[in-house]
Amino acid sequence: MKVIDIINQDRVTISCEMFPPKKEKSLPNYKETAAKMAALKPAYLSCTYGATGGTSDFTVEIADEINKQGVPAIAHLTCVSSTKEKVRSVLGEYRAHNIENILALRGDIPQDADFPLPGQYHHAIELIREIREAGDFCIGGACYPEGHPESPSMDEDLRYLREKVEAGCEYLTTQMFFDNGIFYNFMFKALSIGINVPIIPGIMPITMASQVGRSASLSGSSVPAKFLRIVERFADNPEALKEAGIAYATEQIIDLVANGVRHIHIYSMNKPDVAGAIFDNLSHIYVRE
């Protein structure tokens, strides 16, 4: 099933994200995690591609497993460290495995890399055009409520975002944010320049103190004082912090739904227990089919 058809349903839906293993020997464990995540009945499950130093080799196998578990899969695809030939070959694999949904991304530029090398992509928009040509995929893209860290201004970032949508992005998923006000402001700005595809808020449940600095510095997301106080208060009590992180994410989602948002994406990071606890908290808000 195409993700755009899920998002356009007139009901609240929640999706989750996972990442693939780095080594082939871990593939069976990760497929087990995919099955556990699928058993929670998210509206769809996405699998990252080479994010934050991880691998891209097994995205297709995890996405295939998710589909086999009866949950629509999104396979991410980045282009920054790939040649066009490599991208075309991965698209062929996605087609061969009946993967209908792709999140098209540039990826982070590796430090000390010569970028772009001849024959490489510069921006996600080029990948989006390539995917459009390659088949009948539902294409999503990334967006940044606080602006992409490399972008000189929010206005410029939004202009390029609109170009991505015009090139064929059917929906956008946001970078994580911990203050819903930032998302609402972004929605307003995006709509005001004519970006009118669905924008899905990405919520990251922070359940370990070590995640805070790492996630915020990787994503460029600001961390509100209210959230920092929670982390400081429970830093020495991992179970309490996990409980508080789940509650904080739940509260963000409830506020989003109360303000008219219908679809939410959880950066659940291969943690079915965390995603499951959030789903349980929302059992009358997201009614799973």
Active site residues: 17
- CA angle at 58 for the pair 141 and 102, rounded to the nearest 5°: 20
Out of 74, 91, 106, 244, the only residue in the binding site for ligand FAD (CB under 6 A) is: 106
Q: Kindly indicate which of the ranges 5-13, 120-128, 239-247, 271-279 contains the residues binding ligand FAD, using the contact rule CB under 6 A.
A: 120-128
Under the binding rule (CB under 6 A), the answer on residue 13 touching ligand FAD is no
Under the binding rule (CB under 6 A), the answer on residue 125 touching ligand FAD is yes
Q: Kindly indicate which of the ranges 23-31, 60-68, 119-127, 181-189 contains the residues binding ligand FAD, using the contact rule CB under 6 A.
A: 119-127
Contact track, ligand FAD, 69-98, x by CB under 6 A = -------x-x--------------------
Site residues for ligand FAD, 189-248, by CB under 6 A, read 202
Report how far apart the first and last C-alpha atoms of the chain are (Å, whole number): 15
Under the binding rule (CB under 6 A), the answer on residue 166 touching ligand FAD is no
Binding-site residue total for ligand FAD (CB under 6 A)? 24
Out of 51, 139, 204, 244, the only residue in the binding site for ligand FAD (CB under 6 A) is: 51
3-class DSSP assignment, residue 85 = helix
**Please, which residue, 40 or 47, has the CB nearer to ligand FAD?**
47
CA–CA distances in Å: residue 278 to residues 179, 236, 251, 285:
18, 22, 10, 11
**Please, which residue, 54 or 224, has the CB nearer to ligand FAD?**
54
> Least distance from C-beta 238 to ligand FAD, angstroms?
27
**Please, which residue, 142 or 278, has the CB nearer to ligand FAD?**
142
Query: With contact defined as beta carbons under 8 Å apart, do 64 and 20 qualify?
Result: no
In whole angstroms, what is the distance from residue 75 CA to residue 134 CA? 15
Under the binding rule (CB under 6 A), the answer on residue 263 touching ligand FAD is no
Closest CA to 274 of 75, 16, 30, 26: 16
> Least distance from C-beta 283 to ligand FAD, angstroms?
26
Q: Kindly indicate which of the ranges 47-55, 92-100, 208-216, 268-276 contains the residues binding ligand FAD, using the contact rule CB under 6 A.
A: 47-55
In whole angstroms, what is the distance from residue 58 CA to residue 56 CA? 6
Query: With contact defined as beta carbons under 8 Å apart, do 81 and 54 qualify?
Result: no
**Please, which residue, 32 or 150, has the CB nearer to ligand FAD?**
150
Out of 32, 150, 251, 280, the only residue in the binding site for ligand FAD (CB under 6 A) is: 150
Query: With contact defined as beta carbons under 8 Å apart, do 74 and 47 qualify?
Result: yes
Query: With contact defined as beta carbons under 8 Å apart, do 249 and 204 qualify?
Result: yes
CA atoms within 13 Å, Cβ hemisphere of 284: 0
CA–CA distances in Å: residue 129 to residues 23, 35, 126, 142:
31, 32, 5, 15
Which residue ranges make up the site for ligand FAD (CB under 6 A)? 48-51, 76, 78, 103, 105-108, 123-125, 142, 148, 150-151, 157, 160, 164, 173, 175, 202
